[in-house]
């Protein structure tokens, strides 16, 4: 066994020994405090997460290959782009493969250009029809 493996084994063993010893020597009140802290942490993390729809998109992007339909890939890119905050863009396909239509309202002309750019850069998109509105004065 090499020295590196031995040190790794020793450190893991020491960690487990300390963990088991701490749990064995702790009182019931300590465990209750830890449970309360764990529940509170879980609640705060749950409240900090985005809603399911916005969370599902980026997580689905980690799937192998291009399992998502092209309009879903475009929607995920637009919704997760930091520059697209506050925009409401719907993505739909046309009758022809590789064509997508962007409809909705964006905050600035820069967001309008960014939405088209993101769609064009998405794998499987060949043509983008842009029907995005920008509020007056922006």
pLDDT in tens, 42-64: 777 766 665 555 555 555 555 55
Residue 92 has pLDDT above 90, yes or no: yes
Residue 66 has pLDDT above 60, yes or no: no
Tell me which residue of 94, 95, 107, 103 sits closest to 134, measured CA to CA. 107
> Considering the domain boundaries, does residue 57 fall inside one?
no
Task: For residues 1 and 29, give the distance between their C-alpha atoms in angstroms, rounded to a whole number.
Answer: 43
Cα separations (Å) of 6 from 3, 12, 72, 101? Answer: 5, 10, 49, 60
Name the token pair of 20.
């088991």
Question: Across residues 11-16, what is the average pLDDT?
Answer: 81
Task: For residues 32 and 34, give the distance between their C-alpha atoms in angstroms, rounded to a whole number.
Answer: 5
Which structural domain, as residue segments, surrounds residue 30? 3-48
Question: Across residues 88-116, what is the average pLDDT?
Answer: 93
The per-residue pLDDT for 21 is 74
Based on the domain organization, do 127 and 75 belong to the same domain? yes
Q: For position 80, which CATH number holds?
A: 3.30.1340.30
How many structural domains comprise the chain?
2
Based on the domain organization, do 44 and 80 belong to the same domain? no
Task: For residues 128 and 135, give the distance between their C-alpha atoms in angstroms, rounded to a whole number.
Answer: 21
Based on the domain organization, do 126 and 75 belong to the same domain? yes
Based on the domain organization, do 35 and 74 belong to the same domain? no
Percent over 70 (pLDDT), the chain? 82
Based on the domain organization, do 125 and 72 belong to the same domain? yes
Q: Look at residue 136 and give its three-state secondary structure.
A: coil
Based on the domain organization, do 7 and 41 belong to the same domain? yes
Based on the domain organization, do 117 and 80 belong to the same domain? yes
The secondary element (H helix, E strand) that includes residue 99 is: strand 99-105
């Amino acid at each position: 066994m090499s020295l590196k493996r031995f040190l790794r084994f020793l450190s893991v063993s020491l960690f487990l020994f300390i963990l088991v010893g701490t749990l064995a020597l702790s009182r019931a009140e300590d465990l209750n405090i830890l449970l309360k802290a764990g529940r509170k942490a879980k609640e705060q993390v749950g409240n900090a997460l985005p809603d399911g729809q916005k969370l599902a998109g980026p997580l689905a992007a980690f799937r192998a290959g291009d399992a998502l339909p092209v309009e879903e890939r475009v929607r995920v890119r637009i919704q997760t782009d930091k520059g697209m905050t506050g925009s409401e863009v719907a993505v739909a396909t046309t009758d022809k493969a590789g064509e997508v239509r962007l409809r909705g309202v964006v905050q600035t002309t820069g967001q309008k250009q960014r939405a088209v750019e993101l769609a064009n850069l998405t794998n499987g998109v060949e043509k983008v029809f842009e029907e995005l509105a920008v509020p007056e004065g922006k």
